[in-house]
């Protein structure tokens, strides 16, 4: 049995929004800083419009990049008519991580009550790349990062984590 170790991962970050710009993307800024603080590398960062086919194309391109381990999307997961992130990415996933959305809603319920029902946070694996979509609110992104995403990207997290599987070309 080999000792667990933390390997830095390459992470692509996208904010899905029709209203944010680089100057107003507070959640994206916070996530970019959190990625670096956790010892990972930001591979790319974009702001993407809420267009299902554009999102699917960008995520498809990212999951085809051999050095990229994680695609982290924020925004576009609620029930507003224009939100389409789950519909854009779910067809790309080879394995859906059902527990991610379930646990996120459970944790969110503790903070915002029944409004947690309106989160469609989702995660899965595609081409050995972890694809995660969380709400765009800063508080929701912080909750998802601290409680679910960061621990699973940490190679020292036990009893299991995604770091070793994703660190193929880090």
- Each of the 170 residues of the chain gets a pLDDT tens digit; together they read 456 777 899 999 999 988 888 888 999 999 999 999 999 999 999 999 999 999 999 999 999 999 999 999 998 676 677 877 889 999 999 999 999 989 988 998 888 778 776 788 999 999 999 999 999 899 999 999 999 999 999 888 888 888 878 876 45
Token pair 């086919």 is at which residue? 53
Evaluate if pTM is beyond 0.85: yes
Q: Is the CA virtual torsion 29, 81, 70, 101 positive or negative?
A: positive
Delimit the domains of the chain by residue range: 10-166
Structural tokens at position 162: 């995604």
Question: Out of 1.10.10.10, 3.40.50.720, 3.40.630.30, 3.40.980.10, which CATH number does the structure's domain 10-166 have?
Answer: 3.40.980.10
Cβ neighbors of 26 (< 8 A, separation 6 or more) are 138
Yes or no: say if 64 and 161 are a contact pair by the CB < 8 Å rule: no
């Amino acid at each position: 049995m080999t000792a667990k170790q933390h390997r830095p991962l390459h992470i692509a970050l996208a904010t899905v929004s029709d209203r944010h710009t680089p100057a107003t993307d507070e959640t994206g800024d916070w996530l970019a800083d959190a990625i670096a603080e956790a010892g990972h590398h930001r591979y790319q960062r974009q702001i993407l419009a809420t267009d299902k086919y554009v999102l699917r194309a960008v995520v498809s391109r990212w999951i085809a990049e051999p050095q990229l381990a994680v695609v982290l999307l924020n925004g576009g997961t609620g029930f507003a008519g224009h939100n389409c992130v789950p519909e854009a990415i779910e067809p790309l996933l080879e394995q859906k991580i059902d527990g991610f959305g379930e646990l996120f809603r459970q944790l969110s319920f503790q903070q915002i009550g029944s409004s947690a029902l309106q989160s469609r946070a989702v995660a899965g694996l595609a081409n050995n790349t972890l694809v995660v979509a969380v709400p765009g609110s800063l508080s929701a992104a912080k909750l998802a990062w601290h409680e679910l995403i960061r621990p699973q990207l940490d190679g020292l997290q036990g009893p299991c984590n995604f770091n070793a599987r994703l660190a193929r070309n880090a």
